[in-house]
Amino acid sequence: MTKYILVYFGSGNIKSKEEGMAHMTAWKAWMEGLGDAVVDPGMPAGKSKTVGSGGVTDAGTVSGVTILQADTLDAAVVMAQACPHVKIGGTIEVAEAMDMQM
């Protein structure tokens, strides 16, 4: 199977501690439901900066990463669509993790 990187953007629309706890419960259930597809559950990201040829900005919106395995990109996208992060207004970019010999 091929590995896919899920990069989460946006912090979502969580307004209370209770909503945050409910989101984490949904997140854990989603992650458990993925079973053996989870290569690395990843981690949330803190404040970020965007680095480009024009300099550095505080416009970063990355909120976390996960590594999954799936037969195809479309299969990985289906897994990402079920993620609770999408339901709270965040977005997820899904990309194949390319194996390279260094």
Structural domains of the chain, with CATH: 2-96 (3.30.70.1060)
pLDDT recorded at residue 101 = 84
CB 4 within 8 A of CB 67: yes
pLDDT recorded at residue 27 = 94
pTM of the complete model? 0.89
pLDDT recorded at residue 46 = 87
Residue with tokens 């992650």: 31
pLDDT recorded at residue 98 = 92
Interatomic CA distance for residues 61 and 4, integer angstroms = 20
The low-confidence residues of the chain, meaning pLDDT below 50, are none
